[in-house]
Amino acid sequence: MALTARDCSDIRSTLKGKATNCDYQTVGRWLSKAGFEPPRKPEGSHRVWVHSSGRRVPLVDKGHGALLPVYVKKAIRAILETGACPE
């Protein structure tokens, strides 16, 4: 499943803003739709998503609450760099 136009719009608006209130499930869904593979061994709180191009995106999953904005913005930049959202 690829990213929809609505997903891409949400991604770009989040990148332009402060990227607060994004949870792991939302960012994980974006990464999955953009072609990133979820972590194979989800041990501990750090999860590394990997794209077929070799691009790696680390996320911290505490199980609750919002992700830190730095992780959200890194994930969004990786999605945009892989070309998952057309211009």
CATH number of residue 15's parent domain = 3.30.920.30
Q: Tell me what the mean pLDDT of segment 70-74 comes to.
A: 95
Inside any domain, residue 87:
no
Inside any domain, residue 86:
no
Inside any domain, residue 25:
yes
pLDDT > 70 fraction of the chain, expressed in percent and rounded: 99
**Domain tally, the chain:** 1
| Containing structural domain, residue 19 | 5-81
pLDDT digits (tens, 9 = 90+) for 17-59: 999 889 999 999 999 999 999 888 767 788 899 999 999 999 9
Inside any domain, residue 54:
yes
Residue 65: what pLDDT? 85
Inside any domain, residue 35:
yes
Using an 8 Å Cβ cutoff, are 24 and 17 in contact?
no
Tokens representing residue 42 in the block: 């989800």
Largest CA distance in the chain: 36
Mean per-residue pLDDT over the chain, rounded: 91
Inside any domain, residue 13:
yes
Residue 40: what pLDDT? 81
Rounded Cα distance between 17 and 35, Å, is: 24
Confidence of residue 73 (pLDDT cuts 50, 70, 90): very high
